[in-house]
């Protein structure tokens, strides 16, 4: 926003960006997730308009270079370099967005509807796995930050040491800073972790689109500087835009709205009056004005939904009051009062199996959610394993700490079922099987679970064989012993050999007693 005249549309784009980018700090209710999708679309539309506008500006520089080569020749070449560098960085961010859609499984729906499937993009697994490992960044995470730094460095190299470009360089650094951030507890966090770790995919995707908008704004700003469309920054405050920056962009019903109203580029100018709606705020209250000239605004938020903020920032210039109107928006979301508890593969939990579960609390990060229940163990990032014991039901209790420090809780009861009865097999076949004697003698006895949600490895330990007219033979393992083969050798064509009392166990979990394996009937074909 440094220098250059801006249309009302561009001012609104800038305002929309600053107001809504704070929403990435929120985990997602349905309303907030949907809002991200809508604003991503608005940013995309704004980016398309910016491309056309920047193309016009670049053509203007080209014309000036043709008419005044001594004055604009070098400038036009620099503008083309800016365009090339910006296009490369814009494409790089587009690749990151495509990764979110492809790996998250959202690409097809986005392509069909033209809008992000926001409510499905409530987890940030794709970027979390790509950019973070433990307390460190992955190679891809380091490369992403390095790519931002390269873009800034390349732009600064094009601008050179001319002091006339210092305001533009400051704006460039502010827009694409990767400096460490402090979380609300005062702890240092890397810029990438602060802005992207554990955030919903829709929020991260929108942030990347907003960064693309920053690229286009940077291009426009520099082209205007090259064209001489800027005015000395101290000439008039009319060239600044009043911006609303909430401390967060969505609030629980009944909360106090807190935020700041600032002039673009954070001019060190003290306001003389501040009004929000029809109410004038006391500028003498504690922390009303900070060192940058930003004024804090406070008021009770409205009902659930989107709300507009309108007011007036007044400054003194050349002995006269200069009022500057501002507008903004904020979103009020309901306080969460229920947790989301779901088994990843079923509606019940099974005894003898480590049942994977996802447990979360709407609007609350995973590190502030605690779940407990008999046999429940955390596996990290909202994932748990449930190994139910005896009984028919197990209850999982969930507690969460909200942003304001207040607690919330919920619980859910799951039915416990035993693993179903396995089906006996010979050479992979079950039920009534027709085999020659030789195939029966060399067949392998096994057991399987038909249509079970888990792929459990089952090992047969013993079985019995009954040939008509012959005594029952007990066999250890999975293959016929010599006694069984001898009995089978006396069978006649058409005889039905029964393999029954098959004993089996789950591989790796011998303590669990499977239900009896169903028998196998084999008709001798010769």
pLDDT at 265: 57
What's the whole-model pTM score?
A: 0.42
DSSP for 104-167 reads HT-HHHHHHHSS--GGG----HHHHHHHEETTEE-HHHHHHHHHHHHHHHHHHHHHTT-GGGHH
Domain match, 330 and 225 both: no
Domain match, 470 and 392 both: no
Range of the domain at 507: 423-524
Domain match, 77 and 215 both: yes
Domain match, 432 and 518 both: yes
Domain count, the chain: 4
Show which of 230, 253, 272 is a domain's final residue: 230
pLDDT at 60: 85
Q: Write the CATH number for 322.
A: 2.60.40.10
Show which of 273, 300, 334 is a domain's final residue: 334
Domain match, 14 and 144 both: yes
Domain match, 301 and 406 both: no
Domain match, 226 and 305 both: no
C-alpha dihedral, 38 to 40 to 45 to 50, nearest 10°? 150
Domain match, 155 and 177 both: yes
The candidate with the shortest Cα–Cα distance to 394, out of 414, 412, 411, is: 414
DSSP for 405-474 reads S-EEEEEEEEEEEPPPPPEEEETTB-SEEEE-HHHHHHPBEEEE-TT-SS---EEEEEEEEE-TTS--EE
Domain match, 490 and 344 both: no
Show which of 209, 230, 251 is a domain's final residue: 230
CB 221 within 8 A of CB 171: yes
Domain match, 163 and 243 both: no
pLDDT at 291: 65
Domain match, 211 and 350 both: no
pLDDT at 519: 95
Q: What is the mean pLDDT of each run of 10 residues along the chain (526 residues)?
A: 54 58 50 78 86 88 86 87 94 93 89 85 89 90 94 92 82 92 85 90 90 92 75 43 67 71 62 79 76 73 73 70 78 66 74 89 82 93 91 93 84 91 92 92 92 88 94 95 93 93 88 88 91
């Amino acid at each position: 926003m440094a220098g250059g005249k801006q249309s009302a549309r561009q001012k609104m784009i800038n305002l929309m960006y600053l107001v809504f980018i704070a929403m990435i700090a929120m985990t997602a209710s349905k309303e907030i997730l949907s809002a991200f999708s809508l604003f991503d679309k608005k940013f995309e539309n704004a980016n398309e308009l910016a491309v056309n506008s920047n193309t016009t500006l670049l053509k203007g520089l080209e014309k000036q270079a043709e008419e005044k080569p001594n004055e604009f020749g070098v400038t036009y070449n620099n503008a083309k370099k800016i365009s090339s560098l910006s296009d490369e960085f814009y494409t790089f961010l587009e690749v990151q967005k495509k990764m979110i859609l492809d790996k998250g499984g959202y690409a097809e729906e986005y392509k069909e509807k033209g809008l992000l499937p926001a409510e499905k993009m409530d987890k940030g697994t794709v970027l979390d796995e790509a950019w973070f490992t433990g307390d460190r960044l992955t190679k891809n995470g380091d490369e992403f930050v390095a790519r931002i730094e390269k873009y800034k460095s390349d732009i600064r190299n094009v601008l050179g040491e001319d002091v006339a470009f210092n305001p533009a360089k400051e704006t460039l650094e502010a827009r694409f800073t990767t400096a460490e951030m402090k979380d609300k507890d005062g702890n240092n966090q890397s810029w990438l972790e602060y802005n992207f770790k554990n955030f919903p995919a829709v929020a991260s995707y929108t942030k990347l689109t907003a960064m693309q908008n920053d690229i286009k704004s940077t291009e426009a700003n520099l082209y205007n500087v090259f064209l001489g469309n800027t005015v000395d920054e101290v000439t008039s405050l009319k060239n600044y835009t009043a911006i609303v920056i909430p401390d967060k962009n969505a609030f629980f019903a009944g909360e106090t709205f807190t935020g700041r109203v600032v002039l673009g580029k954070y001019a060190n100018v003290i306001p003389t009056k501040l009004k929000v709606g029809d109410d004038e705020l006391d500028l003498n209250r504690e922390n009303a004005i900070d060192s940058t000239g930003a004024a804090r605004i406070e008021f009770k938020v409205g009902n659930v939904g989107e709300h507009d903020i309108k007011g007036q920032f007044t400054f003194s210039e050349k002995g006269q009051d200069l009022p500057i109107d501002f507008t903004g928006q904020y979103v009020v979301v309901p306080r969460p009062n229920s947790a989301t508890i779901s088994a990843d593969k079923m509606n019940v939990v099974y005894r003898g199996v480590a049942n994977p579960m996802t447990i979360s609390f709407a609007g609350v990060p995973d590190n502030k959610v605690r779940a407990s229940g008999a046999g429940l163990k955390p596996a990290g990032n909202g994932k748990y394993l449930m190994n139910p014991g005896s009984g028919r039901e197990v209850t999982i209790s969930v507690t969460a700490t909200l942003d304001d420090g207040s607690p919330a809780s919920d619980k859910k009861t799951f039915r416990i079922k035993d693993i179903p009865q396995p089906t006996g097999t010979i050479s992979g076949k079950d039920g009534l099987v027709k085999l020659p004697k030789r195939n029966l003698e060399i067949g392998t006895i096994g057991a399987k679970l038909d249509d079970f949600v888990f792929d459990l490895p089952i090992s047969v330990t013993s079985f019995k064989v009954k040939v008509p007219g012959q005594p029952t033979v007990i066999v250890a393992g999975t293959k016929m012993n010599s006694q069984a083969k001898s009995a089978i050798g006396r069978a006649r064509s058409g005889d039905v050999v029964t393999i029954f009392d098959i004993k089996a166990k789950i591989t790796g979990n011998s303590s669990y007693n499977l239900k009896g394996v169903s028998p196998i009937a084999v008709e001798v074909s010769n």
